[in-house]
Amino acid sequence: MIGKHIPGDWQQGKSLGACMVELFDRGLWTDVKFHLKNLKQEQTIQAHKIVLAARSPVFQAMFFGHCADRKTEIELKDVEKDIFLLFLRYIYSDTVTLSEKNASAVLEMAHYYQVSSLVKFCADFLTTIITTKNCCEILTFAMFYKLPSLKTSCCAFIDSNAEQVLKSGCFLDLSAECLLYILKGDTFFAKEEDILEAAERWSRKKFLQSGEEDNSTNIRKTLGESFYQLRLPTMSNKALLDNISRKGYFSIEEYANIAAFINKVPDVNLSTNSCVPRVAEVETLTVQIDDGCTYAYSEPKDQLSVSYDFFISKDVALSNFVFSKIEPYLEYQWRSTTKLPDNIDLILSGSVIIKCLKFEQNFTLRQQQDENVKINISPLLVLRKRETPYCVEINIEYKYKNIQMKTKLDRNKNRISNDSGNISVCSVGYEDFSVIKSIGFLNFSNRDLDKDMNTESTDTKSGQRKSKRKRRHNKLATKK
């Protein structure tokens, strides 16, 4: 920059990062110029090849690769000035100011130039601005650019707000791939008739744009694989009649099979639609203690120790336990007890044990006498579907000596279950449902189940091929 005044001491007191930003902001000793679409011909954005190449493999190949053409001016006619400046500022400073309007564009540029740290930064930002108005758009974006964490965040939001998402305009703009991915989720929890109605609207918008006739054949054809993911066999008889019977989606045989499945006719073969009921992602099993006659208080004890059988018919994750109100009592030497004064902080300690999984989580926490104590299982514990129950043992005691505890006992011996019946819990032994007030679980969406199975199958085949090669090698070695 001949002729431009540059203070001789501008570097003093600055870190390396601050000096890099000064180079960019002042335009000092630049060696490349960029022409952008919304700049006049004589206007350019200036930068340093060596800095760009240090942050981006694409720039490295462009400026210093085998096919580098030594150009000092680059045409980027499809790039907005504001987006490119944000991108360059991150290149020089590792910082960028994002908004809902610019984050996607900055991510696209970072993806193109393979600046992975900026891609992650933008994806993390997008997870913080997901709403019912933009969730489908962001999911489409995440799937196109293969951003698994952003895709997971979008799906978690969509599943938790399924009813509002189905009514939103953005749902109709989903690609066929994204629609299928959403509907595949077991935790996309809403009334199936509402999901059907939204899928019909999506389909009509797609085929009417191409001028096709509005009829049931075209709706089913346009939905494609997504039609299978409509859980119509999980509807009630009335809902099926009201929403399906007159629309002509099925042959007489197909409709009869669905109706037979709903009415629990054995050995029904369904090939048209998934029969897996949708479930809420978060489920809580609550013990309902009847204050009228079904409970009693336990005697004060030094420790509460109880066991429960968990019956699991579909993979879930154990999330938390909430304990019943635990009342502390002060024990005197002559074994009499007296209730402690109110508002005294107490330290509870204990453990959750599942021996068949070799799982044990110890905990220590402060208890206020009037609150229910919650223990989070961290990390979440996956309970796989199995025929035999998991035996879960819980032990609790006060950290201080001479303080005993008691709680309500529920005399109801029945299991407690969720609505779908894939999780149920019963007590083991005399204590019944003492200690536990509720148990929290997370259901899996199972959206990537097929992918996981394919991966497992691929690994198995790969292992078989290796095994065959090894056997052939051993035979040859023996012959020699």
Structural domains of the chain, with CATH: 282-443 (2.60.120)
> Is the Cβ–Cβ distance between 359 and 381 less than 8 Å?
yes
Kindly state the average pLDDT of the residues 80-94: 95
Residue 340: band (very low, low, confident or very high) from pLDDT cuts 50, 70, 90: low
Kindly state the average pLDDT of the residues 78-89: 94
Kindly state the average pLDDT of the residues 419-431: 82
**Residue 444: per-residue pLDDT:** 94
Residue 468: band (very low, low, confident or very high) from pLDDT cuts 50, 70, 90: very low
Q: Measured between alpha carbons, how far is 195 from 190 in angstroms, rounded to an integer?
A: 7
Kindly state the average pLDDT of the residues 348-366: 93
| Lowest model confidence (mean pLDDT) among 21-25, 231-235, 317-321 | 21-25
What type of residue is 79? V
Residue 412: band (very low, low, confident or very high) from pLDDT cuts 50, 70, 90: low
**Residue 5: per-residue pLDDT:** 59
**Residue 63: per-residue pLDDT:** 94
Kindly state the average pLDDT of the residues 269-281: 91
DSSP state letter for 401:
T
Q: Measured between alpha carbons, how far is 261 from 254 in angstroms, rounded to an integer?
A: 11
| Lowest model confidence (mean pLDDT) among 13-27, 162-176, 228-242, 385-399 | 13-27
Q: Measured between alpha carbons, how far is 124 from 141 in angstroms, rounded to an integer?
A: 13
Q: Is the pLDDT of residue 32 over 50?
A: yes
Residue 378 class from Cβ within 10 Å (0-12 exposed, 13-18 middle, 19+ buried)?
Answer: exposed
Residue 411: band (very low, low, confident or very high) from pLDDT cuts 50, 70, 90: low
Kindly state the average pLDDT of the residues 5-31: 83
pLDDT > 70: what percent of the chain? 84
**Residue 303: per-residue pLDDT:** 86
Kindly state the average pLDDT of the residues 138-167: 96
Residues 6+ apart with CB under 8 A from 393: 305, 306, 307, 351, 352, 353, 354, 355
pLDDT averaged over every residue in the chain:
85
Structure tokens at 58: 């694409």
Residues 6+ apart with CB under 8 A from 173: 136, 137, 140
Q: Measured between alpha carbons, how far is 172 from 315 in angstroms, rounded to an integer?
A: 32
**Residue 347: per-residue pLDDT:** 86
Peptide bond into 277 cis (omega under 30): no
> Is the Cβ–Cβ distance between 110 and 118 less than 8 Å?
yes
Q: Measured between alpha carbons, how far is 396 from 348 in angstroms, rounded to an integer?
A: 7
Q: Is the pLDDT of residue 12 over 90?
A: no
Instruction: Tally Cβ neighbours within 10 Å of residue 254.
Output: 14
Across 42-46, 64-68, 376-380, the highest mean pLDDT is recorded for 376-380
Kindly state the average pLDDT of the residues 327-347: 67
More confident residue, 478 or 391: 391
> Is the Cβ–Cβ distance between 233 and 273 less than 8 Å?
yes
* SS3 at position 24: helix
**Residue 180: per-residue pLDDT:** 97
| Lowest model confidence (mean pLDDT) among 208-212, 378-382, 430-434 | 430-434
Kindly state the average pLDDT of the residues 407-413: 66
| Lowest model confidence (mean pLDDT) among 114-128, 244-258, 290-304 | 290-304
pLDDT > 90: what percent of the chain? 58
Q: Measured between alpha carbons, how far is 189 from 165 in angstroms, rounded to an integer?
A: 11
| Lowest model confidence (mean pLDDT) among 45-54, 204-213, 302-311, 400-409 | 400-409
Kindly state the average pLDDT of the residues 407-417: 72
Q: Measured between alpha carbons, how far is 391 from 394 in angstroms, rounded to an integer?
A: 10
> Is the Cβ–Cβ distance between 278 and 231 less than 8 Å?
yes
**Residue 210: per-residue pLDDT:** 78
Residue 332: band (very low, low, confident or very high) from pLDDT cuts 50, 70, 90: low
**Residue 433: per-residue pLDDT:** 57
- What DSSP assignment string belongs to 254-284? HHHHHHHHHTT-TT----SS--PPP--SEEE
Side-chain half-sphere of 362: how many Cα atoms within 13 Å?
4
Q: Measured between alpha carbons, how far is 424 from 403 in angstroms, rounded to an integer?
A: 34
More confident residue, 423 or 289: 423
**Residue 430: per-residue pLDDT:** 62
